[in-house]
Amino acid sequence: EQAQWQATPERMVRRMATVEPTFATLKRLLNKGRLTCWGLASAASEYSLGVLCYNLMRVINILGVKGALARLC
């Protein structure tokens, strides 16, 4: 009942604009959503690497390569 109350059209549009592109990019990075390994631990590791890759791409897009390297060192 509370979920229905909170799912207003304005909130759903905002969610689609902020969350869906992230998951679409992760799905593209992870071979269209199919994991290449077996087992929960291996799948979690593979997904974590995909998330790390996505975050690094975002940092590079925002700061640039030189800015990202400057912040890492």
pLDDT tens-digit series, residues 46-56? 888 888 988 99
pLDDT at 40 over 70: yes
pLDDT for res 67: 92
The pair of three-digit structure tokens given for residue 14, joined into one six-digit string: 């905002």
pLDDT for res 65: 93
Section 15-28 average pLDDT: 83
CB 68 within 8 A of CB 59: yes
pTM over 0.95: no
pLDDT at 31 over 80: no
Domain boundaries in the chain? Answer: 9-70
pLDDT at 35 over 80: no
